[in-house]
Structure 1
């Protein structure tokens, strides 16, 4: 497993973060692959929900920790869903709903309940690639614009100049999200870029990171 290191620089906008990620690929890479595995994050605020309704008709409520949705203690949640006639289906781990306006009422309680709303983004015309696939830089520009305030992440495989091994080396971009441990978590308004130093460079990675001249955050479990 690789380690990721955040590049600690002000990144006030998604465009600025995307440009910085590409600049890192260019500055430190012998070669760079196409953007890989772009993903939208879950909806965690009412503002994100209102934006999502412009582009999506339905989504799935799930537990943020991946557990089953509890049968008790969600009276207001179910009342709002049934009042809006939003229920489409589901199972013990998810509740599929139409994105009706009434659902905006359950924020910020949704966070207290440990629930998030996931979108079927691979079925959206805003999305330019299938799951777990590479895309073009032009497609990535389109997806970042379409994501707006929603969480978004993508990675590039990069052969980092000066490191002996290339496996799992690259650059990670997180928009309205942040890398925590092996995944990106929602963080509305926060944008970040990370260097991944691979799995076989432990003996030289500290010296290499120091040589970049970048101010970096602590090591995070990565890809």
Structure 2
């Protein structure tokens, strides 16, 4: 498991955040692997829903915790879905449906519910579809240009110059999201770049981080 340290700099948009992530790799990495296929975050706002409909035909309502829907507390939500022609179904973990424009009336969603789209990277439409778990830098450029308000995160594994072990080291990019504990959580309009320091560097990481000259956030449980 790694620790992630946010680079505390103004990042007004997705493009500037992507440039900063690549800048960190250029400055501190001895070598960098191909970026992992970008992960799409859940849809939590009406604006995100409208943008998602440009690319995705179907989605699934799930709980934020990934657990079963609670037995009580969502009666109004189920009633609204039924009026829009979406049956509750028998799945205790999710409700799948077509992303019809009428569903926008469901927002704001109940606090414990969000909408997932394209979580299987092989089944996504272009430009979010990837054939492998990794992609090219050009693919990342295309996805970031199309992402709009949607949440997205990208990882680059890299050997950071001066650290003895490269495992779980690299850079994490979060667009319209923030890193919490081993995952990115949606936060529309917020972009972040993080250095990931692998477990085997614990004895030297504080000295190494200080030598970067960067202003960094508190350590977060990472990859």
Q: Same fold (TM over 0.5)?
A: yes
Report how many residues are paired.
220
Give the aligned partner of residue 23 of structure 1: 23
Change in 2 beyond 3 A, CA 1:4/1:30: same
Give the aligned partner of residue 70 of structure 2: 70
Match runs of 1:99-178 below 5 Å: 99-108=99-108, 110-112=109-111, 114-120=112-118, 122=121, 123-130=124-131, 133-178=133-178
Structure 1: gaps of 5 or more residues: none
Pairwise CA RMSD = 1.5
Structure 2: gaps of 5 or more residues: none
Partner Cα separation in structure 2 for residue 205 and residue 85 of structure 1: 55
Partner Cα separation in structure 1 for residue 182 and residue 56 of structure 2: 28
Structure (1 or 2) with the greater strand fraction? 1
Give the aligned partner of residue 38 of structure 1: 38
Aligned residues of 1:176 and 1:190 also touching (Cα < 8 A): yes
Q: TM-score, normalised by structure 1?
A: 0.94
Task: Classify the secondary structure of the residue corresponding to 1:105.
Answer: helix
Task: Classify the secondary structure of the residue corresponding to 1:188.
Answer: strand
Change in 2 beyond 3 A, CA 1:185/1:90: farther
Q: Residue 89 of structure 1: CA displacement?
A: 5.3
Q: Residue 130 of structure 1: CA displacement?
A: 4.1
Give the aligned partner of residue 186 of structure 1: 186
Partner Cα separation in structure 2 for residue 89 and residue 14 of structure 1: 37
Q: Residue 103 of structure 1: CA displacement?
A: 1.6
